[in-house]
Chains A and B, each alone.
Chain A
Amino acid sequence: MENKKEWPLWEIFVRSKNGLEHRHFGSLHATDAEMALENARDVYTRRSEGVSIWVVESSNITASNPDHNGELFEPAQDKVYRHPTFYDLPDEVKHM
């Protein structure tokens, strides 16, 4: 077991329907991008959840630092006027 190297981690994004955006579905291990796509197909779309898959090696993602949550996100909390809640959306506009 001491020789066992873990395969790199990949983040999986799946578009469930044409017209919708890709959404983060989860992550899995694979040796390369091709295998990540095949694994994603088997792990995440076997109940026909998707029509398109993106895979990104997790190490390529730059994430925000939770320690900076205060300065990054709190200033927005008291600015309710930025929400589009002050006018009515027509029913025809879906997925907003």
Chain B
Amino acid sequence: MNNNFIKYLYGIADNSLILGQRLGELTGHAPSLEVDIALTNISLDLFGQVRSYFQYAAQLSEDDITEDDLAFLRTEREYLNVLLVEQPNTDFAYTIARQFLFDHFHMLLMTEMQKSKDETLVAIAKKSIKEVSYHKRFSSDWIKRLGDGTEESKQRIQKAVNDLWRFTDELFHTTEADEAMIKEGIAVDVKMLKDVYYKNVNEVLETATLEVPELKYFQKGGKEGIHSEHMGFLLNDMQYMQRTYPGMKW
């Protein structure tokens, strides 16, 4: 059971870790000082959550590992985040669209995780949900501003939403480990969140005067460790310090 539980934790934590890393790349590069601070604040919220999950995973593991080993020393195939979060920043529209599509999922996940049989997960969810509901507000507000903004902002955010839409279905896939933990009453059955997710997301898109993409084929693989071509570069950046100076601390 422990192995499945640890894998389940990776899945949740890696989403926050990789998205946090993507947002961290924008430090000093966002369109304005205010947005710069907002995005890196979100990044730090996510890293804070990751620490809770990894500390817990390290505690459950029989190996002598730390949260840092999990964050920095796994190989690409061992990361179980969804493809959506590893997609590059590209421009502000993509950054916001990615955030928006993830935040709405994240919010539902944290809401349901509060009902888990595992007390630690309940505690993490209770703490995270306040952060996540702010993230969701921030990104949804930006979707509306860009969608209902200028002609150019509308066209750009629509393109970003259209482009990233194919990664949304994977949010609701489950792995074998997930299924085992759902049976234990510990994991959230994300399959059940799909309808309400698309309902919520579509509502915001409509308010933003954007079109809801119609798509039949979706991308998947991240949850099984099969990542897009962007992942290796991201990990290279993220792991560089720990790999060059093993055990280095601030």
Interface residues of A (CB under 8 A from B): 7, 28-32, 34-35, 38-39, 41-43, 46
- Which residues on B sit within 8 Å (CB–CB) of A38? 38, 137-138, 141
Give the number of A-B contacts (CB < 8 Å).
30
User: Is B37 in the interface zone, CB < 8 Å from A?
Assistant: yes
In the assembled complex, the CB of B17 is this many whole angstroms from the nearest CB of chain A, namely 21
Contact B138 A46 (CB under 8 A): no
Within the assembled complex, what's the spacing in Å between the Cα atoms of A28 and B37? 12
Contact A29 B34 (CB under 8 A): yes
Contact B38 A42 (CB under 8 A): yes
Quick one: which of A29, A34, A46 contacts B32, CB cutoff 8 A? A29
4 shortest interchain CB distances as A-B pairs: A39-B34, A42-B38, A42-B37, A42-B41
Given A28-B33, A31-B145, A43-B34, list of 4 further CB < 8 A pairs? A30-B34, A32-B145, A34-B141, A38-B138
Within the assembled complex, what's the spacing in Å between the Cα atoms of A36 and B134? 14
- Which residues on B sit within 8 Å (CB–CB) of A34? 141
Within the assembled complex, what's the spacing in Å between the Cα atoms of A9 and B145? 18
- Which residues on A sit within 8 Å (CB–CB) of B33? 28-29, 43
